[in-house]
Structure 1
Amino acid sequence: MKKKRKGCFAAAGFMMIFVFVIASFLLVLLFFNRDLIKKLPIDTKTIVLERLTDYKPLVEDELENQGLSNYTSLILGMMYQESKGKGNDPMQSSESLGLKRNEITDPQLSVKQGIKQFTLMYKTGKEKGVDLDTIIQSYNMGAGYIDFVAEHGGTHTEELAKQYSEQQVKKNPELYTCGGNANNFRYPYCYGDYTYAEKVKEKTKTVEESLQVATLETMESKAHE
């Protein structure tokens, strides 16, 4: 009986050592492979910001092409809200191309199309005389929201976004149901997310702070070279 127990303990001990070695190997692998970490379904603030920063050069180039160079942080803030920088459609821009959600399979195409869509909303918004928050919200709710706000004072509020959402829901109540979940925070305003602009602004601030820190670290590093 004692021999059997010793055998069980030995087997358990071996298994623990094996698991420890494998876990240690994976941790070392992840530590030295930041690209692998960023592809994992881990959403710590640091990892999300690293993903977004990887897109910064492309975002800057595309915005410069559109004459909107001052909006890098905003676009990255929108990407943060849309996908946290994950997946093949980080700007969730498939639908603006007439495709189904997440049908874009090329992240670069997603970014380019997302910025193209933002540029369209931006120009439309400026023509209609609405504020930037309305333009941001229209990325989520569509150009119709710009017209709606223009007719109601030109300044975005969550109350106006709710009213517009309610209007759209009434047009197609079977489609906009919040997944049938009455506990969804959007319910009954199930068309779009009436809090989108505010969420994007909060995330844009986080992105700006991160980019400022990165810039300071780069400057300090060069100063010590």
Structure 2
Amino acid sequence: MLKRIGRIFLLGIFCFALLWCWRVYSNVKQVLTYESMVEEVLAEHQSNADEDLILAMIYTETKGNADDVMQSSESATGMANSITDSKTSVHQGVTVLTENLALAEEVGVDVWTAVQAYNFGQNYINYVAKNGGVSTVELARSYSREVVAPSLGNTIGETYRYYNPIALVYGGGELYKNGGNIYYAKEVRVNRLLIQVVRLFLND
């Protein structure tokens, strides 16, 4: 009986893993449809941003399944979902990231600080510069709790569960309400790798 339960359990895990792999594969394929657009926009901006980094941010933000693929409306207009076409979204997203990368280089912080600042806002770059120069989950958590959340009304440190594998690995899967995503740079980093792996598979 126990062996049978064990086999059923293992089969369930195997099926779940297959489903997860298929979903990742399908989502990455969707994101890769924006590859030529991203190349074009980066060339227009003469940006030093990495193409796969932009694609990973699209994956992280929307999996490529929204008009505002980089969720860049608020940085452009202050209103969510005000951008209604993907190219404008990529233009705005690349503009913000390019500015972040330039400031990060100027103040001597790592690239992933610039990526995290896409979620938190550019002031995070100066915060990291004053606190070691390298973005970490711990620094992001402090900034979220002390700066982002209070600025949007969460002055008591209210949290909620965030059921994301990376969040569970790096911090127990918890975010501050109105505090942004403290795991954003980590997610982009992993998603960049997923994109590179799937691209290799597709090109074989």
TM-score with structure 1 length normalisation? Answer: 0.70
**How far did residue 127 of structure 1 move?**
0.8
**How far did residue 123 of structure 1 move?**
0.7
2:11 corresponds to which residue? none
- 1:88–1:104 Cα contact (<8 Å) kept: yes
Q: Which of 153, 173, 191 is the matching residue for 2:179? A: 191
- The residue type paired with residue 108 of structure 1 is K
**How far did residue 97 of structure 1 move?**
0.4
Residue 118 (str. 1) matches residue 97 (str. 2): yes
- The residue type paired with residue 32 of structure 2 is T
Residue 84 (str. 1) matches residue 63 (str. 2): yes
TM-score with structure 2 length normalisation? Answer: 0.76
1:211 corresponds to which residue? 199
2:169 corresponds to which residue? none
CA shift in 2, pair 1:170/1:58, >3 Å: closer
**How far did residue 170 of structure 1 move?**
6.1
2:107 corresponds to which residue? 128
Q: Determine the C-alpha separation between the residues in 1 that align with 2:156 and 2:74.
A: 19
1:142 corresponds to which residue? 121
Structure 1 segments unaligned to the other structure (5+ residues)? 1-42, 218-225
CA shift in 2, pair 1:100/1:145, >3 Å: same
Who wins on radius of gyration, i.e. which is larger?
1
Greater relative CO, 1 or 2 (CA 8 Å, sep 6+): 2
Identity of aligned residues (%): 31
Q: Determine the C-alpha separation between the residues in 2 that align with 1:60 and 1:206.
A: 19
**How far did residue 116 of structure 1 move?**
1.0
Task: Identify the range of structure 1 (92-101 vs 77-86) with the bigger mean alpha-carbon deviation.
Answer: 92-101
1:153 corresponds to which residue? 132
Q: Determine the C-alpha separation between the residues in 2 that align with 1:94 and 1:183.
A: 26
Q: Determine the C-alpha separation between the residues in 2 that align with 1:132 and 1:155.
A: 9
- 2:49–2:98 Cα contact (<8 Å) kept: no
**How far did residue 174 of structure 1 move?**
2.3
Aligned residues: 173
**How far did residue 87 of structure 1 move?**
1.1
| 1:44 counterpart SS class | helix
CA shift in 2, pair 1:176/1:190, >3 Å: farther
